[in-house]
Amino acid sequence: MLDIESLLLKLSNARGPSGFESEVRQIVRKALVPYVDSIETDGVGSLISLKNGPSNSPKIMLSAHMDEVGLLVRYVTSDGFIKFQNLGGWLDQAVIGQRWEIMTSKGIVLGVTGIKTPHVMSADERGKIFKGESLFIDVGAKDKSDAEDRLGIKPGDPIAPFVKAEKLNESDFILGKAWDDRAGLAVMIGVMDSIKDKDLPFSVYAVATVQEEIGLRGAHTSSYAVHPDIGLNLESGVAGDYPSISQYEAQEKLGAGPAIFLHDSSMLPNLNLRDFVIETANEIDLPLQFNVLSGYGQDGAEMQKAFQGTPVINITVPTRYLHSHNSLINLKDVESAIKLVEACILKLDPSIVEGLKSFD
C-alpha cells in the first residue's frame, strides 16, 4: 500500500525550481511505474504517464506540477556574493534571512540571503521593505573566483529553498516547502495507486508538469500532447484560516477536506464538471470546500484552452503560507482529495464524458 505521508515528505524535500525539476521527476517517475502502461517526457520535461483504456476511448487527464518557486544565479559579485533572479512569485520580504541550496555542476552549495544588521540601520531603513535587487546570497566565498572556481557557481544555476519537511508536533499537519504543488503530485500518485487494478472505459493520463510557476508552460505543451476530453488539475489551495487573511480573500480551511476553485484569474471551471464533482462528493459523504479567488493561476487553464477546449476543474489541498520557505498542509486533506478524485474517475463513463462536454 502506498505510504502517502512518506511520499509527501520525499516530494517536499526534493529540489525543483521552475525549469530544473529533475529530482522531482525522478521521484514521480519511480512512483508511477507500477500503475501505468507507459511513461514519456515531452519537449520541455513534463512527465506524461498513461494507463491504457480501450482503443479510441475518451482521455482523462490528471495534472499536477513538479516545479516550486525558487531563484536563479544572475551573477557573482567581485566579493563573492550571489545576485539572483526570482523564479516565480516571491515576496521580497519572504526571501530575507533564509537558507538556500545552489544546484551547481559540482554539487550543492549552501547559502543564506543576507541583510544589513538592524544595529546600523537608520530609522527610515528599519521601516522599509527591502527590494529584491538589493538582496544577495552569502555562500562564504572569499571572492568571485573562489565562488566560481572552488564552489562551481555559474550564472543560470538554479537555487532551491533549503527546508526539511516534517510532521508538526505529532499532529496531522505537515510543515515543509513546495506544497505548491507537491501536495497535488501526491494526490495524483495516490489516485493512480487506487485505480491500478480497475478496468476503466477510458484512458487515464497522469501528467506531472514543469514550469507552472513561470507561466503554466509545461501544462501548455502536455495538454497538446495528450488532447484530453476531461481535465482534473490537482493543486495546492489557498487557505484563509489564519490571522491576517480574510474570508473574502480565501475560503479554504485546513482539515476540512479538499476544495474546488470556482474562480481564479486564469480560468472558470466547466459548470457541468463542477456539479459532477459536487454530486460525487455528496455520494461518498466527503466534505468539499469551495474557493473564489481574485488572483492565482494554475495548469487547468492551459488544459481548458487546448485544441477545441476541454472541460476542466481545479481540485485542491488547502495550504497555508504559500510561496514561502515553510507552508502547512493537513494529511487528512490529501487523503480525502485522493478519495474524491478516485470516486470521480470510477463514476465516469463515455456517455457522462460526452454529457460534460455538452453545452445544449
Q: Which residues pair with 320 in a beta bridge?
A: 328
The total number of residues shown for the chain amounts to 360
Question: How far is C-alpha 314 from the chain's CA centre?
Answer: 12
Helices (H), 73-178: 92-95, 123-126, 144-145
Q: If you write DSSP's letter for every residue of 56-91 in order, what string do you get?
A: T--EEEEEEE--B-EEEEEEE-TTSPEEEEEES---
Q: Give the number of other CB atoms < 10 A from CB of residue 55.
A: 6
Paired sense of beta strands 230-238 and 312-319, if any:
parallel
231 closest CA partner among 315, 340, 336: 315
288 closest CA partner among 250, 246, 263, 253: 253
Rg of the chain on CA atoms, in Å: 21
Name the active-site residue from 21, 101, 212, 252.
Answer: 212
Question: How far is C-alpha 224 from the chain's CA centre?
Answer: 20
Name the residue with cell 499537519: 173
Name the residue with cell 529530482: 23
Q: Are 252 and 245 in contact (CB under 8 A)?
A: no
DSSP SS3 for 112: strand
Is 212 an annotated catalytic residue?
A: yes
Q: Which residues pair with 63 in a beta bridge?
A: 207, 233
Q: Is 94 exposed, middle or buried (0-12, 13-18, 19+ CB in 10 A)?
A: middle
**Side-by-side strand order, sheet with 327-330:** 166-167, 173-176, 327-330
Instruction: In the chain, count H helices and then E strands.
Output: 11, 17
Q: If you write DSSP's letter for every residue of 27-57 in order, what string do you get?
A: HHHHHHGGG-SEEEE-TT--EEEEE--STT-
Task: Name the region of 64 (left: φ>0; alpha: ψ -120 to 50; beta: rest).
Answer: beta
- Give the catalytic positions in this structure: 212
